[in-house]
Chain A
Amino acid sequence: MLQISNLYKTFNANTINEKQVLNGVNLQLTPGDFVTIIGGNGAGKSTMLNMIAGVHFPDEGSLVLDGIDITLLPEYVRAQYLGRVFQDPMMGTAADMEIEENLALAYRRGKKRGFRWGITKEEKELYVEKLKTLDLGLETRLTSKVGLLSGGQRQALTLLMATLQKPKLLLLDEHTAALDPKTAGKVLELTDQIIRANSLTALMVTHNMKNAIQYGNRLIMMHQGKIIYDVAGEEKKNLQVTDLLSKFEIASGEEFANDRMILS
């Protein structure tokens, strides 16, 4: 499915701000994998996801998605294979445009855009159906500007947009971190539901260890640009938060250094 081999990345190489962020990442996903990713601040989680998405390019290593080498494909080209939801609820949608217009843009992901109408009647019916599944009442607000929605509503919409065209891989980077706990829980449930319903393959970064254990079939822990722990199946199901903490300490020889994680 996705094969990450020997990924290296250093930001600001040969300057005083040099920072080695990815230090030989190897990861192989099988179709239907729903992987949660945890790790301390600056471990390289976002960088890894951004590299898969094509926001940054690796110094070394390769990315192969479903047999296609995407290592050097521009971000907008590989977007046809990927669904993405970001940490910042503002980032996934165009605030100045209507809900249906945002959906219409997402509906055309991976298709050639030309001088046909940007949105058609039949599509609108599809969007109403899809929005109903979110259960947020957005189906009656098709022509509202997205800027008027709450953070949680925007994340739910972004999630819908990311999966409107079935992606080969769904990338979620702390997509509930900016939401209040109740909304975060709702969006997370929705995420799980959508992933199951469409049998998607997904990578989800989270700073909440409980969620990392609760969701998905596989969990990986990153530290200093490396995957230091990779667990799946029954073993993952039976994990406890304390197990993760001690795993981290053993693997890294340090205390878990993510303030947000200790709090949650």
Chain B
Amino acid sequence: MDNIMSIVMAIFGATSQGLIWSILALGVYITFRILNFADMSCEGSFALGGSVSAILVVGLHWNPFISIIFATIAGMLAGVITGFLHTKLKIPAILSGILTMIALYSINLRIMGQANTPLLGESTIISIVKGLLPAAKAIGMKDSTLQYWVILLVGLLFAAAMIAILYWFFGTEIGCGIRATGSNEAMVRAQGENTDRMKTFGLVLSNGLIALSGGLVTQTQGYADVGMGVGAIVVGLASIVIGEVILHKRISFAAKLISIVIGSVIYRIIIAVVLQLGLNTNDMKLLTAIIVTIALSVPVLKKNKTKVVREGEV
């Protein structure tokens, strides 16, 4: 019974965590899937968002909500840098991202002045929202359970807001231009749009979302760490591909965005369950790589299967 209870709690925690991290996945989706740009700066901008948010709260005692706005802006600037390296200096996409990522490692250390910044004793987004609600005891809840509920609520609100913004944005003229750039650059130029501008726009939006996610993760876990972005790309991709596997490929854009959030939650649940079953946290990166590999190979395997059937028929 206790065991089941702890698994339920773990899943609950994973769900709220998945929502917070889903913003990262949405950002990764913009570059990797919509813009067709393998942007590695993501790992750096995630930690950048965390660092900026943490230092503004701890060092300057700013309102944590304002701190994540600045975290987002910092991420957007990182996107500008990657865009500049790629479009103006003509550095290949992957390398541009890696350069920004590496540079951000040092910059994040500079921002925080140390590798790790705990938010101990500072008010966070979670503590502020929690403060608005009745005390855990008053509603007969464990404090940790209420904490999960608050994270769930915050995550849900942010994920919903971001989906709404992205849905609107990619329906605008500029949004359509970015989508077309990901599909066929030559055509976009022939139709009179500057593809460099479109790519930079996409990178700015993506890295802004990723840094926002980093800021929110910092606020929920109570610290920022210079290494918190390691593997973030693969986590984002895992969420995207899990979402694609569970929902059909031919769905509306809004449903696609929602499927990414669901994918992110499922990913966290898988991790939580596996941890409960006794796997070590150090194995998580390996596990993530395996999940992404499986999810990516499902469509390929399905295709091969139908091919075999067809060949058999002939």
Contact = CB atoms under 8 A, between A and B. Distances in A.
Given A95-B184, A97-B180, A97-B183, A53 B190 contact: yes
With most chain B CB atoms within 10 A of its CB, the pick from A74, A79, A82, A111 is A79
B187 A76 contact: no
A94 B187 contact: yes
Interface string B177-193: 10110111011111111
Interface in A108-145: 108-111, 113-119
Contact of B195 (A53, A76, A77, A106): A76
Contact of A119 (B176, B177, B182, B195): B176
Contact of B186 (A80, A91, A104, A105): A91
A201 interface: no
B304 interface: no
B175 interface: yes
Interface in B185-215: 186-195
Interface stretch (B82-90, B102-110, B128-136, B166-174): B166-174
Given A76-B192, A80-B192, A97-B180, A113 B187 contact: no
B174 A76 contact: no
Between B177, B182, B187, B188, the greatest number of chain A beta carbons within 10 A of the residue's beta carbon is seen for B187
User: Which label, helix, strand, loop or mixed, suits the secondary structure of the B interface?
Assistant: helix
B173 A116 contact: yes
Contacts of A53: 190
Contacts of A95: 183-184
24 contacts: A53-B190, A75-B189, A76-B188, A76-B195, A77-B192, A79-B191, A86-B186, A92-B187, A92-B190, A93-B187, A94-B184, A94-B187, A96-B179, A101-B176, A101-B179, A101-B180, A105-B187, A115-B169, A115-B173, A117-B171, A118-B172, A118-B173, A118-B175, A119-B176
Please name the 7 residue pairs, one residue from A and one from B, whose CB atoms are nearest each other, closest first: A118-B176, A79-B192, A94-B183, A113-B173, A96-B183, A109-B192, A94-B180
Interface of B: 169, 171-177, 179-180, 182-184, 186-195
